[in-house]
C-alpha cells in the first residue's frame, strides 16, 4: 500500500496550489473537500441519512444537494452540524480508502482543510502544513474570492491557530513569497519524505 501524506493549511495558505504542484511532479492527490461535495450527491446511502437528519428539502427537485438550505439549517445549530459531519466524514473516509487502493505510486497525498481538527493526521504517514502570514493569506483570499477583509478574518478566527498546526505538522511549507519558491519547497518536501 502507498504511504499517505496529509496535506493541509488554513484559508488562503496555498494548499490547493501546492496540491497542483504535487500532481505536476507526478504524485496523486485526493481532494477531500471537493470529494465531499460530490459524495453528498452520488452516495445513495448517505443521501438517505442526510434526508433523515435534515429533511427532504436537503435535496432539490432534481435530487441535488441543496447546499444553501443545509448551510442555513446548521448555521446556528452546532449539535446538528456535528451530526451532519458524523455522517459525511466516514463516507469521505471510505471513498478515500477506495481511491487509495487504485493508486500505484509509493506516495499519495490527501488534501484536507481539517487534517488536525479531525485528527486525520493519525491515519497518515506524515503531515505537510502550508502556512503563511495572516495578512498575506487575507489579501490572497480577498483577491481570489472578492471577500472583504472582515469576512476573511472571521473565517480565519474560526480555524485552528497556525501556531497549533505548526506544532503538529511533520513538514512545513512557508508560503510568504512567490509561486516559484512555493514550487521549489514542494519539490524538496516530496523527495525528502522517505
**30 strand-pairing partners:** 110
Which residue stretches of the chain are H helix?
15-24, 32-42, 44-54, 67-74, 78-101, 134-145, 149-158, 162-168, 179-192
The residue from 4, 5, 6, 14 that contacts ligand ATP (CB under 6 A) is 14
Residue nearest to ligand ATP (CB): 16
The residue from 17, 43, 123, 159 that contacts ligand ATP (CB under 6 A) is 17
Please report, in range form, the residues annotated as the binding site.
12-17
The residue from 6, 16, 124, 131 that contacts ligand ATP (CB under 6 A) is 16
In the shown chain, the binding pattern of residues 78 to 117 toward ligand ATP, with x for contact by CB under 6 A and - for none, equals: -----------------------------------x----
Give the footprint of ligand ATP on residues 49-68 (CB under 6 A): none
> What is the rounded distance in angstroms from the CA atom of residue 165 to the CA atom of residue 66?
32
Give the footprint of ligand ATP on residues 113-132 (CB under 6 A): 113
DSSP 131: E
Residues with Cβ within 8 Å of 167's Cβ and at least 6 positions away in sequence, in order, are none
Tell me how far, at minimum, the Cβ of 194 lies from ligand ATP, in Å.
26
The residue from 5, 12, 110, 186 that contacts ligand ATP (CB under 6 A) is 12
In Å, how far are 39, 80, 112 from 123, measured between CA atoms? 21, 26, 13
Amino acid at each position: 500500500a502507498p504511504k499517505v501524506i496529509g496535506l493541509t493549511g488554513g484559508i488562503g495558505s496555498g494548499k490547493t496550489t501546492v496540491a497542483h504542484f504535487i500532481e505536476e511532479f507526478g504524485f496523486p492527490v485526493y481532494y477531500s473537500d471537493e470529494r465531499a461535495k460530490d459524495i453528498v450527491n452520488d452516495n445513495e446511502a448517505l443521501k438517505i441519512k442526510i434526508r433523515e437528519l435534515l429533511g427532504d428539502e436537503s435535496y432539490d427537485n432534481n435530487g441535488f444537494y441543496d447546499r444553501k438550505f443545509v448551510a442555513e439549517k446548521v448555521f446556528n445549530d452546532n449539535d446538528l452540524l456535528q451530526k451532519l459531519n458524523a455522517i459525511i466524514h466516514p463516507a469521505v473516509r471510505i471513498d478515500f480508502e477506495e481511491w487509495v487502493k487504485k493508486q500505484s505510486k509509493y506516495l499519495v497525498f490527501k488534501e484536507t482543510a481539517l487534517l488536525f481538527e479531525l485528527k486525520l493526521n493519525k491515519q497518515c504517514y506524515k503531515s505537510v502544513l502550508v502556512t503563511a502570514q495572516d495578512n498575506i493569506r487575507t489579501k490572497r483570499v480577498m483577491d481570489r474570492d472578492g471577500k472583504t477583509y472582515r469576512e476573511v478574518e472571521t473565517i480565519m478566527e474560526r480555524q485552528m491557530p497556525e501556531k497549533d498546526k505548526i506544532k503538529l505538522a511533520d513538514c512545513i511549507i512557508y508560503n510568504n513569497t512567490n509561486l516559484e519558491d512555493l514550487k521549489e519547497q514542494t519539490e524538496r518536501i516530496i523527495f525528502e519524505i522517505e
